[in-house]
Amino acid sequence: MLSDPRDFPPLQPATIAVTAGRPPHEPDAPLNTPLTPASVFVAGGKREYGRYANPTWEPFEAVLGRLEGGRALAFASGLAAVAALLDLVAPGEVVVAPRHAYLGTLQQLATLEQRGRLRVRVVNVAETDDVVAACDDAAMVWLESPTNPALEVADIETIAARAHAAGARVVVDNTFATPLLQQPLWLGADIVMHSATKYLAGHSDAVLGAVVTQDDETYDALDGQRRLMGAIPGTLETWLAVRGLRTLHLRVERAQLNARSLVPRLQAHAAVSAVRYPGFGGIVAIELEGGAAAADTLTRSTRLWVHATSLGGVESTFERRRRWQSEPATIPDSLVRMSVGVEDVEDLWADLGAALDELTR
Ligand code: PLP
């Protein structure tokens, strides 16, 4: 973990998560930045209008910026952040993009290509040579690592070096890894993007997105675009996300511990034909011997595991991804993406194992 030069002496991520972006330690000051519902500010300062700035956004951006090692901007959602980033690509330019990624990202890319706005060159992000070969004459290399829901992992450092040599900028969707397990900017990426809806906020109660960059020109372009397009974060959402960020390290550590404990048990289970796990993080994907029907039965048969589409919250959720028509056909029909929460792992296994046992009867 590389620390941000602004943190001197260097601080560990857990300390940054807890302490960054707080009001100054002054008598009677609140420890937490209060929620400020304001559409307008008295003229003459830096804020002026609620579409340009809000003090409630600032601690969220401060904590995330320090954890990723850049300057952060919050957006209305992860997909609003994706749209802002793809808007940086000039008309007709090439974007190298993953074959598997969050389906909303893939749909944005496909829609923009259909409209003739940009050209998409699809790659498997885990095949470094293929990604590097695709970088020639590209304007942007879009990586998601690990990918949703296939859990492919990209060699960000090698790809970023080669993409830069070819003149392309590199974006990494770091939603699954979080800055605690992967810091793309320190690996050479130009921009990090998050669905803060997931681990960063962490409690399944806010939709929020973010971008982080070290490059001032890129930061200004994205800030300008946020003001103009209006995909600004909600005040309550950023406040909730800050509250979530304060325990990010505890939640990610526990979810990862739980996932690592569940993976070998899943691998050994007769109802499971394949387990995908990148070795880190709290997301696991399994395929089932009994196909899509077995997967659907599983997602209806548990008491603790909730059948739900999102991920990265404190609670364990799972979903058969191909229930969505637009999920790529290369994702196996029976693949169930599991977001392992922070509950007691033996309770989680008792619930999941019993539902899997039923499938083998
Ligand atoms: N990126 C990834 C990896 C995601 O999983 C998601 C949502 O599931 C998004 C982006 C989109 O974010 P949001 O739902 O906050 O718009």
Assign residue 32 the CATH number of its domain. 3.40.640.10
Domain shared by 38 and 180, yes or no: yes
Give me the CATH number covering residue 340.
3.90.1150.10
pLDDT at 9: 75
For residue 308, give its domain range. 248-359
Indicate if 219 belongs to the active site.
no
Residue pair 335/361 in contact by the 8 Å Cβ criterion: no
Residue with tokens 């939603």: 175
Domain shared by 98 and 198, yes or no: yes
Last residue of a domain, one of 185, 215, 245: 245
Tokens describing residue 40: 């307008």
pLDDT at 6: 73
Cα of 304 to ligand 1 centre, how many Å?
Answer: 23
- Residue with the larger pLDDT of the pair 6 and 84: 84
Query: Tens digit of pLDDT for each residue in 258-286?
Result: 999 999 999 999 999 999 999 999 999 99
Q: Quick one: which H or E segment has residue 12?
A: none
Domain shared by 234 and 253, yes or no: no
Q: How far apart (Å, rounded) are the C-alpha atoms in residues 232 and 53?
A: 9
Return the bridge partners of 140, or none. 95, 169
Q: How far apart (Å, rounded) are the C-alpha atoms in residues 238 and 228?
A: 20
pLDDT at 1: 61
Domain shared by 331 and 261, yes or no: yes
Query: Tens digit of pLDDT for each residue in 71-128?
Result: 999 999 999 999 999 999 999 999 999 999 999 999 999 999 999 999 999 999 999 9
Last residue of a domain, one of 196, 213, 245: 245
Ligand 1 binding pocket includes 78 (Cβ within 6 Å):
yes
Domain shared by 233 and 316, yes or no: no
What is the layout of strands, in order, in the sheet containing 169-173? 71-75, 209-213, 191-195, 169-173, 138-144, 94-98, 119-123
Please state, as a whole number, how many other Cβ atoms lie within 10 Å of the Cβ of residue 323.
14
Domain shared by 296 and 202, yes or no: no
Last residue of a domain, one of 245, 278, 301: 245
Domain shared by 160 and 19, yes or no: yes
Domain shared by 161 and 226, yes or no: yes
Domain shared by 308 and 235, yes or no: no
Ligand 1 binding pocket includes 173 (Cβ within 6 Å):
yes
Please tell me the total count of domains within the chain.
2
Amino acid of residue 91 = P
Ligand 1 binding pocket includes 145 (Cβ within 6 Å):
no
End-to-end, the C-alpha distance of the chain in Å comes to 47
What's the angle, vertex CA 98, arms to CA 95 and CA 103, rounded to 5?
105
Indicate if 198 belongs to the active site.
yes
